[in-house]
Chain A
């Protein structure tokens, strides 16, 4: 499979220069590297600029509701454990309206990869503050500056029990590709937070802003070390795999899912023995 095989009949209509293009390229390149059959990949998204991505990757796609990508993706994976499931959404999807699902997906360790297109602003609604906006961020909804602390997706993921936690930068497609490959290969819930410049509505967290700050870190399996590292944000911003551990996935712990995928099982069920218990 070549990257071109993953193109669809339409081309992305994100703003020219949008960080989403970098993530799209990294995702497609990663899928080629992983060499998984397109037939077995499901890309689930929420709603927002980033969540339009299933339109432009020729695998199974489900563009769902704002914030609900993770429950839908979890349903897909339980229904057919043999599929490779990737859930892609923005910071609003994943950490605003969908934050509850994010935390629960981490603790569930469902075997899927979620990519957060983290541009620290609501883009498709034309520029409001986001849960990851830095304090003081001036936007249409916060003309006097955001007065809330941002969510830190990396620390939140580590604290909530995600078994693979990484951060990438949309301006470094090669590195990001590697993170996606590792995240998809990992058995468990993989979180990849992507620093992704919004060229239209975020004039603070730009390509230059990140290029000057990001540096690559060494991976650790020490949760506390990873957690400490996750708070580094300022002159230097760490990217790479923060944390990885092997842990039983949600599906691993459901003995009834051994063998044939749920979606392939016969609909015909005999209830006679069950009914006997109610006599």
Chain B
């Protein structure tokens, strides 16, 4: 069962919230939902869309085509009518399909014109045949804080819209399914939840799309969770505050997009050199420079891997869905603390700003402190050890030390001797082999296949679903590269024993393929998309079928 619904209108018309209400309604009815948005970088005008896929199985990727298009303006009709089976529209819009007097209903109710969305919402839910109760419950929750008048007006608008749908034959006959309580979250939520779960107590950031929602999600929790979310004067301050807080013993995270990460680069190196852990979230958008501020891309893979002058180990993880974002964030906090290295969570607009239903997030990973908790006689902060990790003390203890960004000896004193430089460089790099042992092993999805799709980050669900679709015609499997650093040799091993390897990524220069090549694996084909939009399942399927002739 599949039902794809899209609402479109100018920015500022409440498109996103309408989409979320629709998605939540169906989630509560027991369906799986996935919502992705397209929006321009402006506050009013332009064209925003929110597209919701409703399915009876787990879903996490966009597809081509729309069953019902709720057009709040003419622009939406003109842009999307060709891919929509039916169009729902109101006054002032010329289209073929279901005309609903949205404004008239709003006037009857005596509400604000933005309530037209709710009329459309009611109508389109009505078209599916779902009971009104689910929508009613969602609207009650959405509007209860806005006062009784607003709530009542919206409920009436929804009801009237819903009732109008009974004049038409239902496009679908959906009934509520019975499922456990689930939540509707975005990728950015999953990262924020992961950080909280990992005991992160200090968040610092400068607003930048598409990472700033993390700020919005965490800031209201400051008092409840006893944490600090500090907005700083720039990303340089953000990352350095996080490093400072971490030095003092607090798990810290900073988050940004590529432009802000550019400013964080020196701070990343400070973390690397002083072995002070820090977690940075880089939610990619297409660049260079300002690029496409509100669109998606995977153009920063190689940048993040080589960011900062000099050489030092780092952990870079590129999860592909909410569950993985959550779990890997927890893991990254523990690993960066254990190994005293910087870590980067690589996401992108598509992954971070798409919404999906999921179970309450859980992980079997435990938070483990890797700090010295007693007085060590003759304590040396950078003592040479077998795995390169030196016990880390924090201020306020008797283990006084200095962290030093110049090359330093075991005690943190400047030491420029060639001998010391060799020892310290090797010490820092020794950690890598041990980090690798603590990473999750890569797994080929579906062993049967003579063609392997390989991707990283946000393409995971698209490729997974493409494999499902392709299966009937092509023997195909899929490998998700979760860690870009340290690179796991197992990835190459798996791909070496595969047939044709197709690398799928959202950039022009095939950066993942280049990383694979650097590690000894030449892919056979690159499937690249760099228009600022995510792959749809259909696109991938079509390209693979073409490839197979």
Interface set of A (CB-CB < 8 Å, partner B): 8-10, 38-40, 42, 44, 47, 52, 54-55, 58-65, 68, 70-76, 78-80, 82-83, 100-101, 103-104, 254-257, 261-269, 271-272, 274-275, 278-279
Contact = CB atoms under 8 A, between A and B. Distances in A.
A71 B395 contact: no
Nearest to B406: A63
A104 B304 CA distance: 28
Nearest to A69: B240
A279 B369 CA distance: 32
A133 B204 CA distance: 34
A21 B232 CA distance: 34
A68 B360 contact: no
Contacts of B270: 64-65, 68
Contacts of B185: 278
B369 A267 contact: yes
Interface stretch (B64-72, B408-416, B530-538): B408-416
Contacts, number: 193
A58 B400 CA distance: 7
B30 to A, nearest CB: 12
B396 interface: yes
A262 B245 contact: yes
A62 B197 contact: no
B233 A100 contact: yes
Interface of B: 28, 181-185, 189, 193, 196-199, 201-202, 204, 221-223, 225-228, 230, 232-234, 236-238, 240-252, 266-267, 270, 274, 360-361, 367, 369, 394-398, 400-406, 411-414
Chain B binding surface SS class: mixed
A83 to B, nearest CB: 6
Contact of B249 (A8, A59, A79): A79
Contacts of B266: 65, 68
B146 to A, nearest CB: 17
A279 B244 contact: no
A144 B193 CA distance: 58
Given A38-B400, A61-B412, A104 B189 contact: no
A271 B183 CA distance: 13
A71 B361 CA distance: 33
Given A63-B405, A104-B232, 6 more contacts: A55-B404, A60-B402, A68-B237, A68-B266, A263-B396, A267-B251
A78 B230 CA distance: 10
A75 B242 contact: yes
Contacts of A78: 202, 228, 230, 241, 245, 250
Nearest to A68: B240
A61 B398 contact: no
Nearest to B221: A274
A80 B360 contact: no
B236 A68 contact: yes
Contacts of A271: 193, 196-197, 360-361
Contacts of B250: 78-80, 262-263
Contacts of B411: 9
A74 B238 CA distance: 10
B395 A39 contact: yes
A119 to B, nearest CB: 20
B193 A76 contact: no
